Amino acid sequence: MNDSNVTPMISMTHVQKHYGDLHVLQDITIEIPRGQVVVVLGPSGSGKSTLCRTINRLEPIDSGEIRIEGELLPAEGKDLARLRSDVGMVFQSFNLFAHKTILQNVTMGPTKVRKVSSADAEKHALELLDRVGVTKQKDKYPAQLSGGQQQRVAIARSLAMDPKVILFDEPTSALDPEMVSEVLDVMVSLAREGMTMVVVTHEMGFARKAADRIIFMADGAIVEDTDPESFFTAPKSERARDFLSKILGH
């Protein structure tokens, strides 16, 4: 039997993290199987971004273990660079390289980190730009694109590394409302294709449509871990009921 079928894509075991006196991640234990789409919800300051950032080691943890496909997160060096390409991250601010064209933004990682030839990287990049609907913008610079277009380029750039997992931290929060759905549509299609995704978002429509699982955090702890239907129709905790009434109540 192939081990990778049973080894979780992401596993966190008794993960603890403090910022000074603040216990920002409190004994987090979760397993995320390959292909699962997890939406992380919770009030501001509950630790959602910190959770994501620990998974690709933008933030170190105090104790516990984080594994990607069974392998402990590397602390530094080449292994860390490889981890960062296996575990892509898409942020609220698109973080494209301002002085590179759209096409160069997407080919850079594969040529520099994955050592793919320029020709192959460009071919793949053009396919990805087509897929996210920004082929026409390929020779422009990020500042010449709308926010929605830039975020779709950021997703293409992440996909260019052929990641095993993509973490999304509020990918649509900085966008004008009319651009939100074009980015969510790309994410829904990725989800349907079987990408393993951890998504922090306030887009409840996306959560209902695309999530396999909802993790609700409050004060650095996982308070609920369930399927979307159960979470939205019958939240168990007072914290989750309160959160839902605020977010859905207007």
State the DSSP code for 25: E
Contact between 158 and Mg ion (CB under 5 A)? no
Cβ atoms of residues 12 and 26 within 8 Å: no
Nearest to 198 by CA among 41, 20, 3: 41
Cα 131 from Cα 14, distance rounded (Å)? 39
Contact between 85 and ligand ATP (CB under 6 A)? no
Piece of 17-25, 47-55, 122-130, 177-185 that binds Mg ion (CB under 5 A):
47-55
Collapse the DSSP code of 56 into the 3-class scheme (helix H, G, I; strand E, B; otherwise coil) and give the result: coil
Cβ atoms of residues 48 and 85 within 8 Å: no
Contact between 21 and ligand ATP (CB under 6 A)? no
Piece of 2-10, 44-52, 64-72, 119-127 that binds ligand ATP (CB under 6 A):
44-52
Contacts to ligand ATP from residues 23-42, by CB under 6 A: 24, 42
Binding-site partner at residue 233 among ligand ATP, Mg ion, none, CB < 5 to 8 Å by type: none
Contact between 49 and Mg ion (CB under 5 A)? yes
Contact between 22 and ligand ATP (CB under 6 A)? yes
Q: Quick one: CA dihedral 233, 235, 240, 241, positive or negative?
A: positive
Contact between 172 and ligand ATP (CB under 6 A)? no
| Residues contacting Mg ion: total by CB under 5 A | 1
In a 13 Å sphere around the CA of 151, the CA atoms on its Cβ side amount to 25
Contact between 83 and ligand ATP (CB under 6 A)? no
